[in-house]
Amino acid sequence: MSEQSQEFMEDSLRWRGRILNGVYAHWCFEWDELPIDETCPEWPCGCGFQEFKDKTLAELKGEQP
């Protein structure tokens, strides 16, 4: 979620104590529509992000090995 909505940012602050801005930031239906991204303990969720399954977290963030 590159451009987050105000509502998502507010939900992130309310439920996570910080704004989630990871590559896979979204409201997760598997976790009762709570905001989640790859930095959350519930990750990976079952929302089907195939590209996450095919790459490491460092690759997704653009970090060099």
Tens place of pLDDT per residue across the chain (65 aa): 446 799 999 999 999 999 999 888 999 998 999 999 989 998 888 887 766 666 666 666 666 65
Residue 51 amino acid letter? E
Domain membership of residue 17 as a residue range: 6-60
In a domain, 44, yes or no: yes
In a domain, 42, yes or no: yes
In a domain, 65, yes or no: no
In a domain, 19, yes or no: yes
In a domain, 40, yes or no: yes
Distances 9 to 12, 19, 23, 35 between C-alpha atoms, Å:
5, 5, 14, 9
In a domain, 1, yes or no: no
In Å, how far from its chain's centre is CA 60?
Answer: 12
Write down the pLDDT at residue 23.
85
In a domain, 36, yes or no: yes
What pTM did the predictor assign?
0.68
Nearest-CA neighbor of 22 among 5, 41, 42, 36? 36
Q: How many domains does the chain have?
A: 1
Write down the pLDDT at residue 2.
45
Write down the pLDDT at residue 45.
86
